[in-house]
Structures are given as C-alpha cells and as structure tokens.
Structure 1
Amino acid sequence: MAIHNALGKAGEDAVAAYLEHNGYVIRDRNWRKNRLELDIVATKDNRLIIVEVKTRSNTEYIKPQDAVNWQKIRRIVIAADAYVKHFRIDAPVRFDIITAVGDAGAFEIEHIKEAFYPPVF
C-alpha cells in the first residue's frame, strides 16, 4: 500500500472513531455504487450524515477542506442521492467535512458540520 493510501486509511479510521465517540452511528464506510463513493455515512438525531474525509500530513500548502471543490461536491451529492434511493431513506441529509491532519495515531481532527448544501443541478 502506498504511503499516501496508508495515511488516508489511518485518517479515515481516526475520523470513524471520533464520530462513534461523539454519538454517531456508522452505517457505511467507503460505500460504492458504480463510480460513486461516499467516505462515511452515519446517523445521529434522526439525520443521515454524509461525511467527506480529508487526510493530510500537514497544511503547509492547502487546507484539507479546500480540496472539496464544486466538482467533488457534485459527485458527493449524486452519490448521496443514490444512497438514499437505494436504501429508501426518509430522513434529512447533512453534508459534513472532517479533516484529519498529522500522522497515524496523532491526528488533529476538525469537524465542519453542514460544510455545504446540495447545489441545484
């Protein structure tokens, strides 16, 4: 496994642990349908939470959340729509970004709730 892949997996594991510690129930991790993917799908307070995880070793060049551009948002929203339809979910959906910066075992986690709203296509 490439170093950046290992860092990404460790960051996603740290974020999943963070969510569970804060009362979220993880429904799925790395859910895929065709070419669509959702990093983490969780529930809390009768809401479906779609979490985009961004892991970086440092923020020297760019903040991790800045990597979520409009194209990425569009793909996440399309994937979330597919997820909701596939599982026939009738609940409000929230889109969060959670960043994990640092090294495995020593990540600094930042949770950005309602990081974006679905654009109108």
Structure 2
Amino acid sequence: MRIHLDTGRSGEKLAAEWLSQRGYTILACNWKYGRKEIDIIASLDNILHFIEVKTRRGHGFGMPEEQVTRKKLKNIKTAAEAYLETFPQWRRVQFDIVSIIYAPGGHNIQLLEDIS
C-alpha cells in the first residue's frame, strides 16, 4: 500500500511541475471537500482546470486514465461545485486528466483535456 501512495504523491508533484512549465498557474493541490478531493486546481488562459492525476509504474494494469471512473468523475464535479461556490469568479471551467507512466529510463506524461 505504501508504494501505491508514494507513486500517487510523486505523480501529483511531477504533474504540478509539468503543468507549471507549460504556463499553468497552480491554485491548489489535493483540495478537499468532505471526503472528495481534486488533485490539482490550476488556471490557464482564464480557464479553471480541475485535474485528476493518475500514475502507474508500467503498463501492467492498463493505462492510468482508465482508472477515472464515472463515480470518480462525479466526485470531482461535486468537489468542483463546492470550489466554485467559494471562488465564483470563474466563468469557464474544464476537467482534465494528467496520465503518468513511470518506466525504466524516464516517464511518459499526457494531458487529456476536457474529459467531461
């Protein structure tokens, strides 16, 4: 279980750095609403991005983004609604996934945009 948690945390940190390098402003990491959580909340070009990060240490269990279920997406949207109640100035929002696969010799990062 510890390796799984470490993989997820390191993936979220890597994703935040990667997004920052591409011009995103990171507004929050691991933002919680009750028991629901949004991995990264960021902005780019006046769009608020709610980003789920999925990380794997290989292809053995499929692609990371395949783990974002309808239930998970619903939970993210519920948390996003709460965030928007607190910060209502945002008019444009988007739900994205950062998919990371650690592999020998490096990693592969993909941004899947507007998944909802």
Structure 1 length as normaliser, TM-score? 0.89
Q: Percent identity?
A: 36
Any idea what SS the aligned residue of 1:65 has?
helix
Is residue 11–residue 55 contact of structure 2 (8 Å, CA) maintained in 1? yes
Aligned length: 116
Q: Contact 1:11–1:107 at 8 Å: present in 2 too?
A: no
CA RMSD across the alignment: 1.8
State whether residues 58 and 102 of structure 2, in contact with CA within 8 Å, keep that contact through their aligned partners in structure 1. yes
Instruction: Quote the offset at 1:97 in angstroms.
Output: 0.4
Shift >4 Å, 4+ stretches: none
For the residue of structure 1 that corresponds to 2:91, the secondary structure is coil
SS of the residue corresponding to residue 10 of structure 1 reads helix
SS of 1:91 mapped into structure 2:
coil
The separation in 1 between residues aligned to 2:58 and 2:89, in whole angstroms, is 37
Distance 1:27 1:90 in 2: 13
CA distance in 2, matches of 1:89, 1:80: 13
Partner of 1:31: 31
For structure 1, list consecutive stretches of 5 or more residues without a partner in the other structure: none
Residue-by-residue CA offset, 1:16-41 (whole Å, 9 max, x unaligned): 01100000000000001211110000
- Indicate if the aligned counterparts of 1:14 and 1:107 stay in contact, CA closer than 8 A: no
